[in-house]
Amino acid sequence: MASNPIVIPFVSDSDPQHVHVTVSYSPPTSSVIQERIRRISTTSSNVRLPKVLHPIENEDLRILLLENISLDAVKVFESNGWKVDHHKKAMKEDDLVQQIGKYHAIGIRSKTKITERVIKAASKVCETLP
């Protein structure tokens, strides 16, 4: 697709009668641009290819949400296949030590304390850590 000529004023010292130059420009088509990108990406080692992300198997993942964490968060976890146990109050250390072993993750606010005993009892959380 050619564009209309563009007139650029120009005065020559040797011939003052010619006072303009006509230039025509055609923008590259999308196929030309795509070809340039393809050529650059196949010849340059500096071009990073997109990373492919794979979803985790989460059909049996459980999360414990304490201290009235947002119900919107509950919905998001559930929509991603998590089994969510939502509690309005904090748990005491003894109760948390008894419960934490069946969960892969925990969401807390400031009242719940994650102590060394809780971490040792959190076998499923720790097995997912590197």
Contact 38, 61 (CB under 8 A): no
93 falls within a domain: yes
Lowest mean pLDDT among 28-32, 41-45, 109-113: 41-45
75 falls within a domain: yes
The whole-angstrom separation of Cα 54 and Cα 37 is: 26
Q: Do 23 and 77 fall into the same domain?
A: no
The alpha carbon dihedral of 69, 70, 74, 76 has a sign of negative
- pTM of the model as a whole: 0.54
100 falls within a domain: yes
Domain CATH number, residue 93:
3.40.50.720
The whole-angstrom separation of Cα 34 and Cα 15 is: 44
Comparing 21 with 126, which gets the higher pLDDT? Answer: 126
Would you place residue 124 in the very low, low, confident or very high pLDDT band (cuts 50, 70, 90)?
Answer: confident
Per-residue pLDDT tens digits for 9-29: 555 566 655 555 555 556 666
pLDDT at residue 92 is higher than 90: yes
57 falls within a domain: no
pLDDT at residue 98 is higher than 70: yes
Comparing 36 with 43, which gets the higher pLDDT? Answer: 36
64-83 b/e (C-beta count within 10 Å ≥ 16 → b) = bbbbebeeeebeebeeeebe
Give residue 117's pLDDT: 94
Domain that holds residue 113: 62-127
Q: Do 22 and 77 fall into the same domain?
A: no
The whole-angstrom separation of Cα 19 and Cα 43 is: 45
Per-residue pLDDT tens digits for 39-90: 766 655 665 666 655 556 666 889 999 999 999 999 988 888 889 999 999 9
The whole-angstrom separation of Cα 111 and Cα 36 is: 57
Give residue 108's pLDDT: 93
